[in-house]
Amino acid sequence: MAIVSSDMGAPRRGSAPAGKRGSAQADERGSAQAGELPVTPARSPVNRRLLDPSALAADSDPLAPAKADETGEASGTGWGEPPAREDGLRPKRLADYIGQSELKQVLAIAVEATRSRGEALDHVLLYGPPGLGKTTMALVLAEELGVRCRITSAPALERPRDIVGLLVNLQPGELLFIDEIHRLNRVAEEILYPAMEDFRLDLTVGKGSSARTRSLQIAPFTLVGATTRAGSLSSPLRDRFGLIQRLEFYNLDDLQAIVQRAAGLLQLDLEQQAALEVARRCRGTPRIANRLLRRVRDVAAVNGQLRIGPELVHEALSLHSVDSRGLDASDRRLMTLLLESYGGGPAGLDALAAALGEDSTTLETVVEPYLLQLGFLQRTPRGRQVTPAGRSHLGWPAQLDLSGAQP
């Protein structure tokens, strides 16, 4: 990605009233809720241009075979040699990004307006479940703006100098992507406030009675924050994002298209039904879709099969214990435990975790969400319970109604 020219050192965004700057407490008042900001815009010619694959210049064709890059990885031709590195499956431009249409429309307008003003894009907060493409979207934004994207995550910004070092080294217009931004510590957050609002760092020099505050101007930049837990962000931090956008789970059509696009990049001959089969099993998540596709590619390679049909997908994913709806061994262990030991539930999370030898947080945040989304599991005040749909999927007969109530 090119670094933006220095004439992007454009006017700063409207500064906030003095009282707002630097004071976390003052900002607790009147905070906006995450997700309040976005309003779906009508499809404008501007964003139609950005969203239309045919409008892309040939030299930025993301489907073109991967060229050798500075890491020395190059495009390949045979089974043993991946034609595109893993990262090569990510869409590079908005027009290639499948799904999340509201998000794309909002960002396309923001990008176009920003470019025409020659400013840095307003700060963006992306939130939603893992694997839906928050990092990918940050990279896409940088590509659209013609700037570099620096990637870090909040746990890596432990000491003040970690975040200061990143901020002072940003070039005008560049993106700083902070993953898991809800985990940012208080000091790093306080450093970010004036940096986000006025592109200014307020640094304390010296110690004790000789301590002085020095202000340092930094380049106008865009912070792209990503979180799976928007509710855990402090209000002052959340309020400093101009765009707050939720990423949604992908529908089956979009997932199928994502799988087909990835198959093209990996130079696989994948039948449409086979792409649909992968899409059904990827838990609504492109990252998992791409992972499953690679497993299918392995089996195809070992079998010497060049054309991949749905049977091969079934064979490959059964090998990895992924069933027709994307349930894996952990999902089935939980459901089976509930059915066999608790008559389908309800049962408490801790009791289930102990019986499975799992950590209860892992069970709650990693295993359960997809089962809840499928409607196979319910969280009730008395604990977890398998639903009739869940019973039926696992091949258990419907539960007899012993209440004596007439239908």
Interface with ligand ADE (CB under 6 A) = 89-91, 96-99, 133, 136, 258, 261, 286
Task: Output 100 or 227, the one with its CB closest to ligand ADE.
Answer: 100
Token couple for 270: 């994948």
Shortest distance, CB of residue 214 to ligand ADE, whole angstroms?
Answer: 43
Nearest to 224 by CA among 148, 303, 326: 148
Is residue 361 flagged as an active site residue?
Answer: no
3-state secondary structure of 151: strand
Taking the complex as a whole, the smallest distance from the CB of residue 137 to ligand ADE amounts, in Å, to 8
From the list 298, 119, 285, the residue with the least C-alpha distance to 199 is 119
| 134 counts as catalytic | yes
Cα separation of 257 and 322, whole Å? Answer: 20
- Least Å distance between CB 259 and ligand ADE? 9
350 assigned to active site: no
Least distance from ligand ADE to the Cβ atom of residue 100, Å: 6
For ligand ADE, which is the closer residue by CB, 90 or 283?
90
Question: Which is catalytic among the residues 152, 228, 365, 387?
Answer: 228
- The single residue of 134, 238, 280, 281 carrying the catalytic annotation is 134
Beta bridge partners of 214: 203
Residue entry with tokens 């090998």: 319
Q: CA separation (Å) from 375 to 22, 60, 355, 369?
A: 45, 42, 23, 10
Beta carbon of residue 381, minimum distance to ligand ADE (angstroms, whole number) = 37
Give the shortest CB-98-to-ligand ADE separation in angstroms: 4
Active-site annotation holder among 93, 114, 135, 285: 135
Task: Provide the residue type at 82 as one letter.
Answer: P
Phi, psi at residue 213, to the nearest 5°? -100, 130
Measured from the CB atom, is 96 or 331 closer to ligand ADE?
A: 96
Nearer to ligand ADE, 82 or 91 (CB): 91
Residue 282: CB minimum distance to ligand ADE, A: 10
Euclidean distance between CA atoms 340 and 343, whole angstroms: 6
Rounded-to-integer distance, Cα 15 and Cα 8, Å? 18
The answer to whether 383 and 346 are in contact (CB under 8 A) is yes
Residue among 27, 96, 179, 198 flagged as catalytic: 179
Which residue, 22 or 286, is less far from ligand ADE as judged by CB?
A: 286
Distance CA(347)–CA(337), nearest Å, equals 10
Question: Dihedrals φ, ψ of 402, to 5°?
Answer: -95, 10
State the sign of the Cα–Cα–Cα–Cα dihedral 278, 280, 283, 287.
positive
| Identity of the residue, 131 or 194, whose beta carbon is nearer to ligand ADE in the bound complex | 131
Helix (H, G, I), strand (E, B) or coil at 5: coil
Q: Could you tell me where the beta strands, DSSP code E, fall in 116-221? A: 124-127, 149-153, 175-179, 200-205, 212-217
Task: Between 90 and 123, name the residue whose CB sits nearer to ligand ADE.
Answer: 90
Under a CB-based contact definition with an 8 Å cutoff, are residues 55 and 263 in contact?
no
Q: Which residues pair with 177 in a beta bridge?
A: 151, 224
Active site residues: 134-135, 179, 228, 287
